[in-house]
Amino acid sequence: MNTVKEFLASRTKALMTTSEETPVNQAVSMMVADNIHSLIVMKDDQMVGIFTDRDYVHKIVAIQRDPAELTVGDVMTKDVTTVSPDASIQDCIELMNAGKFRHLPVSEAGRVIGMISMTDVMRLLIDFHDQDIETYF
């Protein structure tokens, strides 16, 4: 699996989204229930941000804000780096490393079509490594 497009074709989970108006508590509950660590924030079918577990920890918990009084729009990351479906997994690793983030929305023709995370990349690398080892035995 060399490209993001190939990775997305293997995904079975739908992309999870939310809106700026969603209460933080509700967004976190969605992430916990679906065992994910980020939500794409949408407005009128366009991505306006991303809300991650890291946003929750750094922008709410660490400074002792009350999540019950906040919406996703209050704490989401607005300047979101995206990647093309034609990008390589190596490209994703380099973008995540350079930007110090763990979630990378996949965008095509101005629309978000998926997400790749550092966890996904690590699983791909482990699978590749395991396959590579098997060729020697």
Mean pLDDT by groups of 10 residues along the chain of 137 residues: 83 90 96 95 95 95 92 96 93 93 94 92 74 47
- Nearest CA to 4 out of 81, 126, 110, 113 is that of 113
Q: What is the pLDDT of residue 129?
A: 57
**Per-residue model confidence (pLDDT) at position 7:** 86
Sign of CA dihedral 18, 31, 130, 99: positive
Look up the pTM and report it.
0.86
Residue 137: the pLDDT is 39
Please classify residue 107 by burial: count the beta carbons closer than 10 Å to its beta carbon, then call 0-12 exposed, 13-18 middle and 19+ buried. Answer: middle
Radius of gyration of the chain (CA): 16
CA distance 118 to 98: 13
Owner of token pair 């996703």: 72
In the prediction, which pLDDT does 12 show?
A: 78
